[in-house]
Chain A
């Protein structure tokens, strides 16, 4: 497993495509917490899909004013089809070209598999990592760690 960035570290700035004609930057969300969820791939074949779960839990994240961003190495068109099929209501970012470049800056890229780790980051309103967690590739980490972190964030 990769060594992901630890709490207290400034989150590396990035700009990625969230749609064919649209980009998002981490800096756009200054002033509010951001949940950055790196995951290996769209189209996970089970109901236990991590993004589907976060989509359902999103109202709880929003109670803390937090924005949720999913990141994988899939391209924008793939993300778009996946988001549509799963009715996702949050952006999926394409860390596609150069492949995995943003994941690498967070220590969340798995070279051998060529995909993002299942790595979670809660970034505070000042852009500093408040909590991070890397789950084994095959284990969906759930949402409890994110909610615990959001509750502990200084108001």
Chain B
């Protein structure tokens, strides 16, 4: 059984309440098309479970095959530093085929994020250490590709179809009753 080696912590991007009975952690890459396919499914799963589920997103950019993934992750982290991680996360996946500076600037403007600050953060690679930290934690947790999911610390090796994910989460809810 492959387990999450880095517990959910304050520096994570967490959607939902700490009291939620199930935690779903995703290791993802903004340029990975499979992560793009999983994105709307996760939203559906979140809607379905509401407060019973909290969702955590960690970066796992495979930059050698996805040259835009690191930049996109840094943009998401920049937005996160301004309290708008999920807004940016949503927009990046919704516009996955257009990743690049023009898209980042357009989203930043719509979210009221400072353009100069954004450019400076990218130039300084300010968020690169955090992303690397996510990546290495993922490697130690047995992430074997993206997206990789962990449900209450356990790697979810089955598919990430809506029904399969819901059923796996239901099992956890049952287990914790």
B29 within 8 A of A: yes
List A contacts of B157 (CB < 8 A). 139
Among A30-51, those with CB < 8 Å from B are: 46-50
Given contacts A60-B136, A60-B139, A142-B2, contact A50 B144 (CB under 8 A): yes
A interface secondary structure, majority:
loop
Q: Are B64 and A56 in contact (CB under 8 A)?
A: yes
> What size tier do the contact residues of chain B reach?
20 to 34
> What size tier do the contact residues of chain A reach?
20 to 34
List A contacts of B62 (CB < 8 A). 47, 52-53, 56
Among B131-177, those with CB < 8 Å from A are: 135-136, 139-146, 157
Q: Are A55 and B146 in contact (CB under 8 A)?
A: no
Which of B63, B64, B66, B135 is the most central at the interface, judged by chain A CB atoms within 10 Å of its CB?
B64
List B contacts of A52 (CB < 8 A). 62, 64-65
List B contacts of A49 (CB < 8 A). 145
Kindly list 18 other residue pairs between chains A and B, CB separation below 8 angstroms, not including A47-B29, A47-B35, A48-B34. A47-B32, A47-B33, A47-B62, A47-B65, A47-B66, A49-B145, A52-B64, A60-B136, A86-B64, A86-B65, A88-B64, A142-B139, A142-B143, A142-B144, A144-B2, A144-B140, A144-B141, A144-B142
- A-side residues, CB < 8 A to B, are 46-50, 52-53, 55-57, 60, 86-89, 139-144, 147
